[in-house]
Amino acid sequence: MGIRGEIEGAQAEIRRRNLSRMLRDLHLSRPLSRSELAVRLRLDRSTVASLVSELAARGVVRERRRSGAIPQSPGRPSPVVELLPDGPGALAVDIATDWLGAAVVGLGGRIIASTRRDRSLCNTPPQKAVEELETLVRPMLAGLENGPRIVAIGVSVPGLVRSEDGHVHLAPALGWRDVEIGQLVREQFTELNAPVFVGNDADLATSAEYLRGSGRGTSDFICIWGEGGLGAGIVVDGRLLGGSAGYAGEVGHVTIDPNGDLCHCGARGCLESVVGEEALLRRSGRDPLGGTAAFEDLIAAADRGERVAIAALAESGRCLGIGISGLVNIFNPNRVALGGLYARVYPYVRAPILRELETRAIPAPRAMVDLVTVRLGGNALLLGAAELALAPTLDDPGALPLAEEPAPIETGDAPEGLDSEASRAPVLG
């Protein structure tokens, strides 16, 4: 490749990155005016106009004049750039131990439609789970009018998922081993003609919480997620820790009692086998496989003040506190959020967790960490699955097909004195 080719390649790469930065900004914040985009992205106004017009031509954004807006500076008010309601979106799927869920999620994290069926999926063959999923998803999709265009499918699974291809190595609570769940979902929904991305439930919940919930504003964030099993997502310096293949974050399988009960993973005394849902139910004298109904019964008993229930929850909190202390010592997070069933039992486990942190975590990192509950609730898994599915679109919006009739876009706008400053700023960042 000659010099000219290299320069063109570099320019194309800069444009791809700028398109991606602009779309991510709109995706994670709110409608923004061209002048706000210019300041936030540190780009000159003509570049912003050109990027906006490309996103509009690809059916992602539209512009509208602010009605009744009073110009802050001489000249016309800058039009507001907003995501199109029928722009790209994802079908998000949540295969959990105790339910099947699905949603259509647009850019901006908007849940357009959602559906869920509560039932135990323990030992359900993957093919059967996917067929049942279809009976849940079809009516939801049929009822959608003017929803987003589904460009990808994201699937949350409570197990170890290889990030490269979505291969489920092990989902102990479902009884799955070496399952090509992505392929099964793709085959079940061939007419959507959409790529399928699969992620670990705790990782997906963590990325949604980090972007839109309890992890916002932090750089180092840990989300402990319990639904059936126990997992965690670990964000280090703004990046979700994946490990070399995507299997990292299996906090539930850290040994906490070398002589403890056998865990689903085959080892003994894992944190999950001590504080997971089954252990919690067993400790409180309930059927360990009682699922959601037994868990709700346990909470109700604790709320009534029953000592056995409260003691069982406190003991789980103590063990969870031991696990969290280790995480604080290793990762020095700003914040640790409890999600899934741990968010439900938070009032009962908070004090025992803090007591363990007091004695087991190193004082300096302990003093820096907040203990909170997740903010997105059950939606965290679906939003995280959508985020995973939409990541390639957010990374390279220029790969979206051009809409047949691009909306007319005004490219020239009254200058507001930003250009000279903005054009000196770096275009990447």
Interface contacts to Zn ion, rule CB under 5 A: 253, 263, 265, 267, 270
Least distance in Å: CB of 258 to Zn ion? 13
Instruction: Give 230 or 336: the residue with its C-beta nearer to Zn ion.
Output: 230
Least distance in Å: CB of 226 to Zn ion? 14
Integer Cα distance of 211 and 226 in angstroms: 20
- Reported as type and span, the H/E element at residue 335 is strand 335-340
Integer Cα distance of 391 and 314 in angstroms: 40
Q: Name the pairing type of β-strands 168-171 and 176-179.
A: antiparallel
Residue 51 exposure: Cα atoms within 13 Å on the Cβ side: 30
Instruction: Give 160 or 385: the residue with its C-beta nearer to Zn ion.
Output: 160
- Reported as type and span, the H/E element at residue 278 is helix 277-283
Least distance in Å: CB of 242 to Zn ion? 20
Q: Is 178 left (phi over 0), alpha (psi -120 to 50) or beta?
A: left
Least distance in Å: CB of 11 to Zn ion? 51
Least distance in Å: CB of 229 to Zn ion? 9
Instruction: Give 265 or 391: the residue with its C-beta nearer to Zn ion.
Output: 265
Q: How far apart are the first and last CA of the chain?
A: 27
Tokens of 227: 């639904």
Residue 95: name the closest of 168, 13, 11 by CA. 168
The neighbour count for residue 27, using CB atoms within 10 Å, is 18
Instruction: Give 257 or 396: the residue with its C-beta nearer to Zn ion.
Output: 257
Instruction: Give 144 or 262: the residue with its C-beta nearer to Zn ion.
Output: 262
Alpha helices in 81-233 (DSSP H): 126-142, 181-188, 201-212
Going from the C-alpha of 248 to that of each of 134, 160, 199, 215, 264, the distances in angstroms are 30, 9, 12, 19, 17
Integer Cα distance of 310 and 231 in angstroms: 23
Least distance in Å: CB of 263 to Zn ion? 3
Instruction: Give 269 or 392: the residue with its C-beta nearer to Zn ion.
Output: 269
Least distance in Å: CB of 267 to Zn ion? 5
CB contact at 8 A, 200 and 386: no
Instruction: Give 152 or 270: the residue with its C-beta nearer to Zn ion.
Output: 270
Least distance in Å: CB of 272 to Zn ion? 5
Least distance in Å: CB of 340 to Zn ion? 17
Phi (first) and psi of residue 341, to 5 degrees = -65, -25
Phi (first) and psi of residue 6, to 5 degrees = -65, -40
Rg (CA), the chain: 24
